[in-house]
Homo-oligomer: A and B are copies of this chain.
Amino acid sequence: ALGLAACGKSEQQAAPAAPAVQTGLPSIQWRMTSSFPKSVDTLFGSAEMLANRLREITDGKFDIRIFPAGEIVPGLQALDAVQQGTVEMCHTCSYYYVGKDKTFAFGTAVPFGLNARQMDAWIIAGGGQELLDEFYSNYNIYSFLGGNTGVQMGGWYRKQINSLEDIKGLKIRIAGIAGEILARMGAIPQQLAGPDVYPALEKGTIDAAEWVAPYDDEKLGFHKVAPNYYAPGWWEPGPVVHFYVNKTEWDKLPKEYQAAFRTASREAHILMTASYDHKNPQALARLLSQGVKLQTFSNEIMKRGYEVSQELYAEEAAKNPAWAKIYAEFEKYRRAQNAWFGVAEGSYDRFMQTIR
Protein backbone atom coordinates (compact mmCIF):
# COMPACT_ATOMS: atom_id res chain seq x y z
CA ALA A 1 0.00 0.00 0.00
CA LEU A 2 0.98 3.61 -0.20
CA GLY A 3 -0.57 4.20 3.23
CA LEU A 4 2.41 6.13 4.34
CA ALA A 5 1.02 9.32 5.73
CA ALA A 6 2.84 10.38 8.88
CA CYS A 7 2.77 13.43 11.10
CA GLY A 8 6.48 13.94 11.80
CA LYS A 9 7.83 17.45 11.76
CA SER A 10 10.93 18.27 9.80
CA GLU A 11 12.86 21.41 9.09
CA GLN A 12 11.44 23.78 6.52
CA GLN A 13 13.17 23.96 3.19
CA ALA A 14 15.17 27.10 2.61
CA ALA A 15 13.52 29.20 -0.06
CA PRO A 16 15.91 30.04 -2.90
CA ALA A 17 16.77 33.68 -3.23
CA ALA A 18 14.61 35.42 -5.83
CA PRO A 19 16.71 36.31 -8.85
CA ALA A 20 16.96 39.89 -10.00
CA VAL A 21 16.61 39.01 -13.69
CA GLN A 22 14.17 41.30 -15.48
CA THR A 23 11.71 39.24 -17.51
CA GLY A 24 8.10 39.29 -18.44
CA LEU A 25 7.12 36.40 -16.21
CA PRO A 26 5.99 36.78 -12.59
CA SER A 27 7.53 35.31 -9.45
CA ILE A 28 5.09 32.78 -8.05
CA GLN A 29 5.40 30.96 -4.75
CA TRP A 30 3.35 27.85 -4.17
CA ARG A 31 3.10 25.46 -1.27
CA MET A 32 2.80 21.72 -1.85
CA THR A 33 1.62 19.54 1.00
CA SER A 34 2.80 15.97 0.68
CA SER A 35 0.93 12.94 1.94
CA PHE A 36 4.30 11.37 2.67
CA PRO A 37 7.04 11.88 5.23
CA LYS A 38 10.55 12.66 4.00
CA SER A 39 11.70 9.25 5.22
CA VAL A 40 9.83 7.56 2.37
CA ASP A 41 12.46 9.04 0.12
CA THR A 42 11.48 7.55 -3.25
CA LEU A 43 7.92 8.85 -3.00
CA PHE A 44 8.89 12.16 -1.49
CA GLY A 45 11.81 12.57 -3.88
CA SER A 46 9.72 12.78 -7.02
CA ALA A 47 7.97 15.87 -5.64
CA GLU A 48 11.36 17.41 -4.88
CA MET A 49 12.41 16.71 -8.46
CA LEU A 50 9.33 18.52 -9.78
CA ALA A 51 10.02 21.58 -7.65
CA ASN A 52 13.73 21.65 -8.50
CA ARG A 53 13.10 21.32 -12.22
CA LEU A 54 10.53 24.13 -12.22
CA ARG A 55 12.98 26.43 -10.45
CA GLU A 56 15.66 25.54 -13.01
CA ILE A 57 13.36 26.16 -15.95
CA THR A 58 12.12 29.50 -14.61
CA ASP A 59 15.37 30.73 -13.04
CA GLY A 60 13.78 30.40 -9.60
CA LYS A 61 10.66 32.40 -10.39
CA PHE A 62 8.17 29.51 -10.13
CA ASP A 63 9.05 28.34 -6.66
CA ILE A 64 7.20 25.46 -5.01
CA ARG A 65 8.00 24.70 -1.37
CA ILE A 66 7.22 21.15 -0.24
CA PHE A 67 5.91 20.36 3.22
CA PRO A 68 6.04 16.77 4.49
CA ALA A 69 2.83 15.18 5.78
CA GLY A 70 1.72 16.78 9.02
CA GLU A 71 3.46 20.13 8.73
CA ILE A 72 0.49 21.96 7.21
CA VAL A 73 -2.16 19.25 7.25
CA PRO A 74 -2.09 15.51 7.96
CA GLY A 75 -1.17 13.35 4.98
CA LEU A 76 -4.67 12.11 4.36
CA GLN A 77 -6.13 15.63 4.26
CA ALA A 78 -3.99 16.77 1.35
CA LEU A 79 -6.89 16.73 -1.11
CA ASP A 80 -9.07 18.81 1.20
CA ALA A 81 -6.29 21.36 1.67
CA VAL A 82 -5.98 21.80 -2.09
CA GLN A 83 -9.72 21.81 -2.70
CA GLN A 84 -10.20 24.56 -0.11
CA GLY A 85 -7.18 26.56 -1.25
CA THR A 86 -5.19 26.17 1.97
CA VAL A 87 -2.31 25.21 -0.30
CA GLU A 88 -1.99 25.48 -4.07
CA MET A 89 -1.12 21.81 -4.58
CA CYS A 90 -0.35 18.45 -3.03
CA HIS A 91 1.42 15.17 -3.72
CA THR A 92 -0.88 12.34 -2.77
CA CYS A 93 -2.64 9.16 -3.85
CA SER A 94 -6.12 9.34 -5.26
CA TYR A 95 -7.23 6.20 -3.46
CA TYR A 96 -6.68 7.76 -0.02
CA TYR A 97 -10.04 9.43 -0.62
CA VAL A 98 -12.27 6.43 -1.33
CA GLY A 99 -14.16 7.36 1.86
CA LYS A 100 -15.54 10.36 -0.05
CA ASP A 101 -16.27 8.32 -3.18
CA LYS A 102 -14.93 4.91 -4.23
CA THR A 103 -14.36 6.37 -7.70
CA PHE A 104 -11.15 7.93 -6.36
CA ALA A 105 -9.59 4.47 -6.52
CA PHE A 106 -9.33 4.51 -10.32
CA GLY A 107 -6.77 7.31 -10.26
CA THR A 108 -4.32 5.22 -8.22
CA ALA A 109 -5.25 1.54 -8.29
CA VAL A 110 -8.12 -0.89 -8.00
CA PRO A 111 -7.49 -4.54 -7.09
CA PHE A 112 -6.87 -6.59 -10.24
CA GLY A 113 -6.60 -3.41 -12.27
CA LEU A 114 -3.97 -2.14 -14.69
CA ASN A 115 -0.22 -2.46 -14.14
CA ALA A 116 2.06 0.59 -14.30
CA ARG A 117 2.56 0.67 -18.06
CA GLN A 118 -1.11 0.00 -18.66
CA MET A 119 -2.07 2.85 -16.32
CA ASP A 120 0.18 5.15 -18.36
CA ALA A 121 -1.42 3.96 -21.58
CA TRP A 122 -4.92 4.49 -20.20
CA ILE A 123 -4.26 7.89 -18.62
CA ILE A 124 -1.91 9.37 -21.22
CA ALA A 125 -3.21 7.90 -24.47
CA GLY A 126 -6.43 6.03 -23.74
CA GLY A 127 -8.82 8.69 -22.48
CA GLY A 128 -8.29 7.96 -18.78
CA GLN A 129 -7.07 11.48 -17.98
CA GLU A 130 -10.25 12.98 -19.39
CA LEU A 131 -12.47 10.57 -17.44
CA LEU A 132 -10.58 11.26 -14.22
CA ASP A 133 -10.57 15.03 -14.81
CA GLU A 134 -14.33 15.03 -15.17
CA PHE A 135 -14.64 13.28 -11.82
CA TYR A 136 -11.98 15.41 -10.10
CA SER A 137 -13.64 18.62 -11.26
CA ASN A 138 -16.20 18.04 -8.48
CA TYR A 139 -13.33 18.62 -6.07
CA ASN A 140 -11.94 21.80 -7.61
CA ILE A 141 -8.69 20.16 -8.69
CA TYR A 142 -6.64 19.24 -11.72
CA SER A 143 -4.62 16.05 -11.51
CA PHE A 144 -1.20 15.19 -12.92
CA LEU A 145 0.68 11.90 -12.93
CA GLY A 146 3.24 12.07 -10.14
CA GLY A 147 4.76 8.62 -9.82
CA ASN A 148 4.05 4.91 -9.79
CA THR A 149 5.54 2.25 -7.53
CA GLY A 150 4.89 -0.68 -9.85
CA VAL A 151 3.20 -3.86 -8.59
CA GLN A 152 3.54 -3.85 -4.84
CA MET A 153 4.06 -6.85 -2.60
CA GLY A 154 1.21 -8.65 -0.83
CA GLY A 155 2.67 -8.09 2.62
CA TRP A 156 4.19 -9.87 5.57
CA TYR A 157 2.52 -12.88 7.19
CA ARG A 158 3.40 -14.63 10.43
CA LYS A 159 2.19 -17.96 9.00
CA GLN A 160 1.91 -19.33 5.47
CA ILE A 161 -1.36 -18.62 3.68
CA ASN A 162 -2.00 -21.49 1.29
CA SER A 163 -5.74 -21.78 0.88
CA LEU A 164 -8.93 -19.78 1.25
CA GLU A 165 -9.32 -21.48 4.64
CA ASP A 166 -6.14 -19.70 5.79
CA ILE A 167 -7.69 -16.32 4.96
CA LYS A 168 -10.63 -16.91 7.30
CA GLY A 169 -10.15 -14.91 10.47
CA LEU A 170 -6.81 -13.49 9.28
CA LYS A 171 -6.17 -10.18 11.03
CA ILE A 172 -4.39 -8.13 8.39
CA ARG A 173 -3.49 -4.49 8.42
CA ILE A 174 -4.96 -3.26 5.17
CA ALA A 175 -7.26 -0.42 4.11
CA GLY A 176 -9.60 0.71 1.36
CA ILE A 177 -11.22 -1.45 -1.30
CA ALA A 178 -8.59 -4.14 -0.74
CA GLY A 179 -9.74 -4.39 2.87
CA GLU A 180 -13.35 -4.76 1.74
CA ILE A 181 -12.43 -7.55 -0.65
CA LEU A 182 -10.38 -9.40 1.96
CA ALA A 183 -13.24 -9.00 4.45
CA ARG A 184 -15.58 -10.65 1.97
CA MET A 185 -13.05 -13.46 1.73
CA GLY A 186 -13.21 -13.92 5.49
CA ALA A 187 -10.28 -11.86 6.72
CA ILE A 188 -10.58 -9.24 9.45
CA PRO A 189 -8.98 -6.05 8.15
CA GLN A 190 -7.32 -3.88 10.78
CA GLN A 191 -6.75 -0.14 10.74
CA LEU A 192 -3.54 0.72 12.55
CA ALA A 193 -1.38 3.84 12.42
CA GLY A 194 2.09 3.29 10.95
CA PRO A 195 4.08 3.11 14.21
CA ASP A 196 1.63 0.60 15.75
CA VAL A 197 2.03 -2.01 13.02
CA TYR A 198 5.36 -3.55 14.01
CA PRO A 199 4.50 -4.15 17.72
CA ALA A 200 1.08 -5.55 16.78
CA LEU A 201 2.72 -7.94 14.32
CA GLU A 202 5.38 -8.89 16.86
CA LYS A 203 2.87 -9.68 19.62
CA GLY A 204 0.50 -11.46 17.26
CA THR A 205 -2.31 -8.96 17.80
CA ILE A 206 -2.39 -9.00 14.01
CA ASP A 207 -1.35 -11.84 11.71
CA ALA A 208 -0.22 -9.85 8.70
CA ALA A 209 0.46 -6.38 7.36
CA GLU A 210 0.94 -5.05 3.88
CA TRP A 211 3.08 -2.06 3.02
CA VAL A 212 4.80 -1.31 -0.29
CA ALA A 213 7.65 -3.37 -1.72
CA PRO A 214 11.15 -4.47 -0.65
CA TYR A 215 12.87 -1.07 -0.55
CA ASP A 216 10.30 0.61 1.71
CA ASP A 217 9.34 -2.54 3.60
CA GLU A 218 12.90 -3.34 4.60
CA LYS A 219 13.20 -0.15 6.65
CA LEU A 220 10.27 -1.12 8.85
CA GLY A 221 11.72 -4.51 9.78
CA PHE A 222 8.50 -6.52 9.42
CA HIS A 223 10.61 -9.44 8.19
CA LYS A 224 11.92 -9.95 11.72
CA VAL A 225 8.47 -10.81 13.06
CA ALA A 226 6.54 -12.06 10.02
CA PRO A 227 8.95 -13.81 7.66
CA ASN A 228 6.50 -14.92 4.95
CA TYR A 229 6.64 -12.29 2.22
CA TYR A 230 3.87 -12.73 -0.33
CA ALA A 231 3.62 -11.71 -3.97
CA PRO A 232 1.90 -10.14 -5.72
CA GLY A 233 0.04 -7.24 -4.13
CA TRP A 234 -2.94 -7.86 -6.37
CA TRP A 235 -4.74 -4.89 -4.82
CA GLU A 236 -2.06 -2.50 -6.03
CA PRO A 237 -0.87 -3.52 -9.47
CA GLY A 238 0.32 -0.12 -10.68
CA PRO A 239 -0.50 2.52 -8.09
CA VAL A 240 -0.25 6.05 -9.44
CA VAL A 241 0.78 8.93 -7.19
CA HIS A 242 -0.69 12.30 -8.11
CA PHE A 243 -0.05 15.97 -8.06
CA TYR A 244 -3.36 17.70 -7.41
CA VAL A 245 -3.52 21.42 -8.17
CA ASN A 246 -6.23 23.84 -7.07
CA LYS A 247 -8.12 24.87 -10.22
CA THR A 248 -8.23 28.58 -9.44
CA GLU A 249 -4.50 28.69 -8.76
CA TRP A 250 -3.73 26.70 -11.92
CA ASP A 251 -5.80 29.01 -14.06
CA LYS A 252 -3.82 31.99 -12.72
CA LEU A 253 -0.49 30.53 -13.90
CA PRO A 254 1.16 31.95 -17.02
CA LYS A 255 0.81 29.43 -19.83
CA GLU A 256 4.60 28.97 -19.86
CA TYR A 257 4.50 27.79 -16.25
CA GLN A 258 1.56 25.52 -16.97
CA ALA A 259 3.51 23.89 -19.79
CA ALA A 260 6.61 23.55 -17.61
CA PHE A 261 4.55 22.02 -14.81
CA ARG A 262 2.87 19.53 -17.12
CA THR A 263 6.11 18.27 -18.53
CA ALA A 264 8.06 18.25 -15.25
CA SER A 265 5.30 16.22 -13.59
CA ARG A 266 5.85 13.55 -16.23
CA GLU A 267 9.56 13.49 -15.44
CA ALA A 268 8.72 13.10 -11.74
CA HIS A 269 6.31 10.33 -12.66
CA ILE A 270 8.88 8.29 -14.52
CA LEU A 271 11.59 8.98 -11.95
CA MET A 272 9.62 7.31 -9.18
CA THR A 273 9.11 4.05 -11.08
CA ALA A 274 12.71 3.97 -12.28
CA SER A 275 13.94 4.59 -8.72
CA TYR A 276 11.78 1.86 -7.22
CA ASP A 277 12.72 -0.57 -9.97
CA HIS A 278 16.36 0.21 -9.28
CA LYS A 279 16.17 -0.11 -5.50
CA ASN A 280 13.74 -3.01 -5.03
CA PRO A 281 15.95 -5.80 -6.42
CA GLN A 282 18.80 -4.83 -4.11
CA ALA A 283 16.49 -4.64 -1.10
CA LEU A 284 14.88 -7.97 -1.96
CA ALA A 285 18.30 -9.63 -2.15
CA ARG A 286 19.17 -8.25 1.30
CA LEU A 287 15.86 -9.46 2.73
CA LEU A 288 16.32 -12.93 1.28
CA SER A 289 19.79 -13.13 2.80
CA GLN A 290 18.14 -12.54 6.18
CA GLY A 291 15.91 -15.57 5.90
CA VAL A 292 12.78 -14.03 4.42
CA LYS A 293 10.54 -16.68 2.86
CA LEU A 294 9.34 -15.49 -0.51
CA GLN A 295 5.86 -16.85 -1.27
CA THR A 296 3.34 -16.51 -4.06
CA PHE A 297 -0.39 -16.35 -3.42
CA SER A 298 -2.02 -19.56 -4.63
CA ASN A 299 -4.18 -19.48 -7.72
CA GLU A 300 -7.16 -20.39 -5.51
CA ILE A 301 -6.67 -17.23 -3.43
CA MET A 302 -6.03 -14.99 -6.42
CA LYS A 303 -9.04 -16.34 -8.27
CA ARG A 304 -11.39 -15.86 -5.34
CA GLY A 305 -10.03 -12.36 -4.81
CA TYR A 306 -10.69 -11.61 -8.46
CA GLU A 307 -14.25 -12.94 -8.30
CA VAL A 308 -15.03 -10.99 -5.14
CA SER A 309 -13.58 -7.82 -6.62
CA GLN A 310 -15.77 -8.18 -9.71
CA GLU A 311 -18.87 -8.57 -7.51
CA LEU A 312 -17.95 -5.51 -5.48
CA TYR A 313 -17.30 -3.43 -8.61
CA ALA A 314 -20.64 -4.44 -10.12
CA GLU A 315 -22.47 -3.53 -6.91
CA GLU A 316 -20.77 -0.14 -6.81
CA ALA A 317 -21.60 0.47 -10.47
CA ALA A 318 -25.28 -0.18 -9.70
CA LYS A 319 -25.41 2.59 -7.11
CA ASN A 320 -22.67 5.08 -8.07
CA PRO A 321 -22.91 6.68 -11.55
CA ALA A 322 -19.41 8.20 -11.30
CA TRP A 323 -17.93 4.76 -10.62
CA ALA A 324 -20.10 3.15 -13.29
CA LYS A 325 -18.93 5.54 -16.00
CA ILE A 326 -15.21 5.07 -15.39
CA TYR A 327 -15.48 1.36 -14.56
CA ALA A 328 -17.08 0.50 -17.89
CA GLU A 329 -14.17 2.03 -19.78
CA PHE A 330 -11.50 0.81 -17.36
CA GLU A 331 -12.74 -2.77 -17.56
CA LYS A 332 -12.73 -2.84 -21.36
CA TYR A 333 -9.27 -1.33 -21.34
CA ARG A 334 -7.92 -3.88 -18.88
CA ARG A 335 -9.07 -6.80 -21.00
CA ALA A 336 -7.63 -5.39 -24.22
CA GLN A 337 -4.34 -4.49 -22.53
CA ASN A 338 -3.83 -7.93 -21.02
CA ALA A 339 -4.68 -9.63 -24.30
CA TRP A 340 -1.79 -7.74 -25.86
CA PHE A 341 0.64 -7.75 -22.93
CA GLY A 342 0.32 -11.54 -22.76
CA VAL A 343 1.74 -11.79 -26.28
CA ALA A 344 5.00 -9.84 -26.57
CA GLU A 345 5.77 -8.50 -23.07
CA GLY A 346 4.49 -11.58 -21.31
CA SER A 347 6.25 -14.22 -23.39
CA TYR A 348 9.51 -12.27 -23.24
CA ASP A 349 9.37 -11.61 -19.50
CA ARG A 350 8.47 -15.21 -18.71
CA PHE A 351 11.50 -16.43 -20.61
CA MET A 352 13.90 -13.93 -19.07
CA GLN A 353 12.66 -14.60 -15.55
CA THR A 354 13.40 -18.31 -15.92
CA ILE A 355 16.61 -18.33 -17.98
CA ARG A 356 18.80 -16.59 -15.40
Q: Which positions in A face B, CB cutoff 8 Å?
A: 21-25, 53, 56-59, 112, 115-118, 120-126, 150-153, 213-214, 231-234, 237, 255-256, 259-260, 262-264, 266-267, 269-271, 273-275, 277-282, 284-285, 294, 296-297, 299, 302-303, 306, 334-356
Contact B115 A345 (CB under 8 A): yes
Contact A56 B256 (CB under 8 A): yes
With a cutoff of 8 Å between Cβ atoms, the chain B residues found around residue A299 in the complex are 351
> A267 → chain B, closest Cβ, in Å?
4
> A302 → chain B, closest Cβ, in Å?
5
Query: How many copies of this chain does the complex contain?
Result: 2
Contact A353 B341 (CB under 8 A): yes
> A51 → chain B, closest Cβ, in Å?
12
Contact A150 B345 (CB under 8 A): yes
Contact A303 B355 (CB under 8 A): yes
- Could you name 5 residue pairs across A and B whose Cβ atoms are closer than 8 Å? A126-B274, A151-B349, A234-B351, A281-B336, A302-B351
With a cutoff of 8 Å between Cβ atoms, the chain B residues found around residue A263 in the complex are 53, 57, 260, 263-264, 266-267
Closest 3 CB pairs of A and B: A342-B353, A56-B259, A121-B277
Contact A57 B256 (CB under 8 A): yes
- Closest B residue to A116 using CB positions: B117
With a cutoff of 8 Å between Cβ atoms, the chain B residues found around residue A120 in the complex are 270, 273-274, 277
**A339 to B231 CA separation, bound complex (whole angstroms):** 13
> A63 → chain B, closest Cβ, in Å?
14
Can you add 19 more A-B contacts, CB < 8 Å, to A112-B352, A231-B343, A339-B356?
A117-B150, A120-B273, A120-B277, A123-B274, A124-B270, A124-B278, A126-B274, A150-B344, A213-B344, A232-B344, A263-B263, A269-B270, A270-B270, A281-B337, A296-B347, A303-B355, A334-B356, A346-B353, A349-B349
Contact B339 A281 (CB under 8 A): yes
- Closest B residue to A52 using CB positions: B259
